[in-house]
């Protein structure tokens, strides 16, 4: 049904659409406004499109892709991002400036995990 293809097709900020954050398997979505606000800030600083490669994950999908059980993706506090034509280290520097509380640096797969966890900041590298 055509209407269902439109689900979550809602512009939620100058550069993001809600559908970009939805779970690929069920289209359910949770998104914290602070995460969106910080992603917009990042978009502004780097002046390039930010691709959300993983936003909200329902428990089944999270399990399927081998995500950790208590992943912040499961509660709408995390997004994995890719940006074309920018050095990952440079992108990391910008993410640090915006002060995401959780930042994962995935060098080989060339993406960053960013989250707004309420607890003390966490940094890791893979």
Q: Does 114 bind Zn ion (CB under 5 A)?
A: no
Q: Does 113 bind Zn ion (CB under 5 A)?
A: yes
Q: Which stretch binds Zn ion (CB under 5 A): 33-41, 76-84, 85-93, 118-126?
A: 76-84
Q: Does 52 bind Zn ion (CB under 5 A)?
A: no
**Which among 67, 48, 46 is positioned nearest to 56, based on CA atoms?**
67
Query: Token match 């993001």: residue?
Result: 16
Helix (H) or strand (E) holding 62: helix 59-64
Query: Token match 């959780």: residue?
Result: 102
Helix (H) or strand (E) holding 38: helix 33-46
Between 7 and 14, CB nearer to Zn ion:
7
Per DSSP, which regions of 47-118 are E strands? 51-54, 78-82, 102-106, 111-115
Given 7, 10, 26, 65, the residue binding Zn ion (CB under 5 A): 26
Given 80, 81, 95, 116, the residue binding Zn ion (CB under 5 A): 80
- Least separation in angstroms between residue 57's CB and Zn ion is 7
Q: Which stretch binds Zn ion (CB under 5 A): 60-68, 81-89, 95-103, 117-125?
A: 60-68
How far apart, in whole angstroms, are the C-alpha atoms of residue 52 and residue 47? 15
For Zn ion, the binding residues (CB under 5 A) are 23, 25-26, 58, 61, 80, 113
């Amino acid at each position: 049904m055509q209407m269902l293809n439109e689900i979550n097709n809602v512009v939620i900020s100058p550069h993001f659409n809600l559908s970009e954050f939805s779970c690929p398997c069920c289209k359910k979505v949770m998104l914290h406004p602070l995460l969106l606000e910080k992603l917009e800030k990042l978009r502004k600083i780097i002046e390039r499109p930010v691709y959300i490669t993983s936003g909200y994950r329902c428990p089944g999908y999270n399990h399927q892709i081998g995500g950790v059980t208590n992943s912040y993706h499961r509660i709408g506090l995390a997004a994995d991002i890719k940006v074309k034509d920018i050095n990952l280290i440079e992108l990391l520097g910008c993410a640090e400036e915006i002060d995401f509380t959780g930042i994962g640096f995935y060098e080989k797969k060339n993406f960053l995990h960013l989250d707004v966890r309420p607890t003390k900041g966490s940094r890791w590298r893979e």
